[in-house]
Each structure stands twice: as C-alpha cells, then as structure tokens.
C-alpha cells in the first residue's frame, strides 16, 4: 500500500458553499498540503498559489477517469444542498447520483482516499429520505476500488476565520459556542480529513467524537 506523500494533493468539491469554503481555507493554511484542486460549477473567488480551479457546469458531464482528476491523494467531497424544497428525485440525483458519477470520474485507485461529507443524522435506517440517501452514498462509495472511502458526519460546524459564504445558521455563528462531543469547528473537520487520509481510521463512518479523536 502506497504511503500518502508528505505534501498532499487534494481534490475538493463544494468550495462555493459554507462547509467547502471553510475546508478550503483550512487546507490552504496547512504546510503539508501542496495543492488543492477545487472542482465547482463556478469560481470560488479565492486566490492562493496552492489553489487550482476546475470549473465544470455539470458534474454529470465529467468523463470516466477524467485526466484532470488524476495524480491526487484524496477527494474531500463537500458539495451538496439541503433537501428543503426539493423533490425526492431531485435530492437523490444531487446527493447520490452526482456523487457516484464524480467518484467514477476519478476512477478506481487503490492509493486514493475518498471522503464524503454527509452530516450528523445520516442513517440507513432513518425515516428521513435525505438521511437514507446520504447513507447509501457512504456505503456504495466503498465499492469503487479506492484504498478507503469514509463518510464524515460532523455537526454544528463553526466557520473558519475569513469565511464569506455563511449560509444558514453560519450567518449567526456568533450565537454558538463549540461544544466538544456535540459540534465540530470546520477547521477541525478539515484536519480530521487530512489525518484520516494520511493514517487511515478503524471505522468507515466518522462521527463527531471520531473527528475529535483524529485531531488530538
């Protein structure tokens, strides 16, 4: 099994959203991250020597084993939207079909780690459609030939300093305090993703407490 290079190269989706922007800013601050490729429908409006952008209007148009997605150590898949106002078909396409297509555009690679940001409350046995859909994506990503595929389920995420895309409760982050075991600062989530990529983890599903353990 290939060891992850000291200077990691990361593919990131969702950089124009709340969590993805925070993860991007945290990654760019790390000395052990050499390059971040942001794959998004529109520019993230962040300039940094480590950052490269790949603008793709529709992820479903990505070819299998896309040459632009080769030569990286991991993908942190943070793209996604709330199911509010969506039909089941729309949400399934966004959260499952597009995710799986993107993973196949990277291609089976026994040295590659795929991390899917699902969120607290995800469960295959849930009565909520969104929760079961994300759990299905978590499970099926493990069948695509990667070294490892993890489902990250953080909660109550506190923004990274300098974030501008504070959707939802992120706009009111000053009302919240990070509480160990209940919430995760986005910077901690990014650090846990790096730790999981570099060293692996004994669980496929990464909950709030696991994120804390990975960053100790």
pLDDT for res 171: 52
Low-confidence ranges of the chain (pLDDT < 50): 1-3, 174-175
Element (H, E) at 115: strand 113-117
Q: What angle do CA 148, 150, 152 make, to 5 degrees?
A: 160
Q: What distance in Å separates the CA atoms of residue 167 and residue 18, rounded to the nearest whole number?
A: 6
Question: Phi and psi at residue 54, in whole multiples of 5°?
Answer: -125, 100
Q: How large is the greatest C-alpha to C-alpha distance in the chain, in angstroms?
A: 45
As a whole number of Å, the end-to-end CA separation of the chain is 25
Question: Phi and psi at residue 178, in whole multiples of 5°?
Answer: -65, 125
Tokens representing residue 121 in the block: 């409350």
Q: What is the pLDDT of residues 67-98, one digit of tens each?
A: 999 999 999 999 998 888 899 999 999 999 99
CA dihedral 153, 156, 161, 163 (to 10 degrees): 80
CA 137 to chain CA centroid, Å, is 13
Architecture of the domain defined by 8-214: 3-Layer(aba) Sandwich (3.40)
pLDDT for res 126: 95
The ranges assigned to domains in the chain are 8-214
CA 82 to chain CA centroid, Å, is 15
> pTM of this prediction?
0.92
pLDDT for res 167: 61
Q: For 59, which DSSP code?
A: G
Tokens representing residue 153 in the block: 């389920």
């Amino acid at each position: 099994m290939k060891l992850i290079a000291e200077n990691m190269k990361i593919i990131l989706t969702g950089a124009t959203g709340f969590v993805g922007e925070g993860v991007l800013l945290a990654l760019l601050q790390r000395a052990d991250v050499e390059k971040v490729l942001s794959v998004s429908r529109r520019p993230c409006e962040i300039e940094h020597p480590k950052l490269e952008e790949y603008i793709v209007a529709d992820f479903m148009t990505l070819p299998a084993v896309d040459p632009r997605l080769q030569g990286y150590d991991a993908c942190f898949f943070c793209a996604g939207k709330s199911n509010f106002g969506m039909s089941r078909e729309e949400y399934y396409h966004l959260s499952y079909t597009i995710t799986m297509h993107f993973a196949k555009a990277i291609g089976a690679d026994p040295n590659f780690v795929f991390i899917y940001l699902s969120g607290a409350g995800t469960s295959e046995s849930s009565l909520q459609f969104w929760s079961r859909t994300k759990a299905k994506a978590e499970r099926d990503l493990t069948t695509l030939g990667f070294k490892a595929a993890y489902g990250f389920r953080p909660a109550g995420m506190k923004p990274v300093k300098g974030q501008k895309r504070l959707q939802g409760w992120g706009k009111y982050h000053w009302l919240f305090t990070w509480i160990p075991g209940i919430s995760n600062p986005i910077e901690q989530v990014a650090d846990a993703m790096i730790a999981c990529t570099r060293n692996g983890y004994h669980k496929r599903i990464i909950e709030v407490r696991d994120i804390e353990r990975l960053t100790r």
